[in-house]
Amino acid sequence: MATISGRTFGSDNHAGVYPAVLEALAAVNSGDAVGYGEDAISKAAVARLCAEAGARQGYLVFNGTGANVLALSLLVRRPYEAIICAESSHLNVDECGAPERVLGSKLLAISVPDGKLTPALIEARLSGRGDEHRVQPRVIQIAQATELGTCYSLSELRRLRDFGRAHDLLIYLDGARIANAAAYLGCALADIAACADVLSFGGTKSGALGVEAILVMTDGLAESAPYHRKQVMQLASKMRYLAAQIDALLDEDRWLVGARHANARARQLGAALETVPGVEIAQPIQSNGVFTAMSRDLAARLLQDWSVQVWSESPDGRVIVRWMTAFDTTEQDVAELARAVADAASQLPAPGVAGQTRA
């Protein structure tokens, strides 16, 4: 995939960063500051984010893979403890096996059509507890929003949390797109965070240059975090420049305002695409992703012009194409994309048999 001008809709990480983020970097660029987060700027930004989330402790890291592995390092105390996750999760599919390599732990992946785990699905994977031949489930890993653009409702999250507590399972919530979820649910960050033992707060996809945070909600889990962060190569020396990004996102609720905007653009796109013959919306649009089922031919045509991903294959022979919006996607960008898809679809012969949507 080559860089193309204009919007790519390929990922929310194709977007640039808020000018305010760059201004925040400049604002802290004065004089010396002790490294590794012991400076006043870093401490204040972490404290501010913790207050927003109701978290006990926070740790800034470089990227999402680092955030996921650090979070799980706090929760998995023994290499025979396992992590229950969705088969479609980024953790399972898109981390190149980093959890297995760095944690030495097994992922117990559960197939789910909408990216969301349920207590019943999890319970079915708990057999084998107490059997030395089996890994011992210890963590439930969920993403909010999910990798399929869906969101858990707060009551779904609370049921998972209660189920976890009842079954001695800790909850890690991958919040790479937690802003989009908060925007969709119309709730506070703390409402979502309260359902997890540890969560990540994604800054990069929300308009920062490169920063994520690990937030610890439950007592007794943070003690080892500084060492794990160092070991998993996520300890920044010039921490103030990560902290400044967090500050810029929290100022004026940029993290949330931008997510509301991105979500609205996704809904706009979904509304436009569902009128295009041969394109069907494959998942409910609950964040900034639009998943569309279409023929391979149409997808191939669109991939010539857009840096999007064929997310998966559909059992009916079609493919699922993912379109992502970001904090800076404009109405005009979306309108142009929708027009281009409609044009491409109209130039292909109509499919003989209408496919079924996945959602």
Choices 144-152, 201-209, 213-221, 272-280; region in contact with a second copy by CB under 8 A: 201-209
Site string for a second copy, 80-119 (x = CB under 8 A): x-x----------xxxxxx-xxx-xxxx------------
Contacts (CB under 8 A) with a second copy, residues 3-62: 3-8, 10-11, 13-17, 19, 22, 25-26, 28-36, 38-41, 62
Size, binding site for a second copy by CB under 8 A:
82
Cα–Cα distance between 210 and 208 in angstroms, integer? 6
> Does residue 243 belong to the site contacting a second copy (CB under 8 A)?
no
Judge contact between 221 and 75, C-beta under 8 A. yes
SS3 78: coil
Q: Kindly compute the dihedral angle of the four CA atoms of residues 44, 35, 218, 192, in this order, to the nearest 10 degrees.
A: 60
Contacts (CB under 8 A) with a second copy, residues 269-288: none
Q: Which residues pair with 137 in a beta bridge?
A: 82
Instruction: Give whichever of 11 and 118 is closer to a second copy, judged by the CB atom.
Output: 11
Cα–Cα distance between 192 and 171 in angstroms, integer? 12
Choices 78-86, 139-147, 149-157, 274-282; region in contact with a second copy by CB under 8 A: 78-86
Instruction: Give whichever of 32 and 166 is closer to a second copy, judged by the CB atom.
Output: 32
Shortest separation between residue 24's beta carbon and a second copy, angstroms: 11
Shortest separation between residue 347's beta carbon and a second copy, angstroms: 25
Q: Which residues pair with 321 in a beta bridge?
A: 292, 310
* Among 54, 188, 303, 307, contact with a second copy (rule: CB under 8 A): 307
The pair of structure tokens assigned to 221 is 């889990």
* Among 123, 129, 168, 230, contact with a second copy (rule: CB under 8 A): 230
H or E, element range at 202 = strand 198-202
The half-sphere exposure of 320 on its side-chain side, counting CA atoms within 13 A, is 21
* Among 185, 236, 285, 299, contact with a second copy (rule: CB under 8 A): 236
Measured in degrees and rounded to the nearest 5, phi and psi for residue 88 equal -85, 5
Choices 229-237, 262-270, 275-283, 351-359; region in contact with a second copy by CB under 8 A: 229-237
Cα–Cα distance between 60 and 287 in angstroms, integer? 24
Shortest separation between residue 53's beta carbon and a second copy, angstroms: 22
Measured in degrees and rounded to the nearest 5, phi and psi for residue 15 equal -70, 160
* Among 49, 50, 57, 66, contact with a second copy (rule: CB under 8 A): 66
Choices 76-84, 267-275, 295-303, 315-323; region in contact with a second copy by CB under 8 A: 76-84
* Among 132, 220, 315, 332, contact with a second copy (rule: CB under 8 A): 132
DSSP assignment of 90-149 equals HHHHSSTTHIIIII---EEEE--TTS---HHHHHTT-TTTT-TTS-EEEEEEEESS-TTS
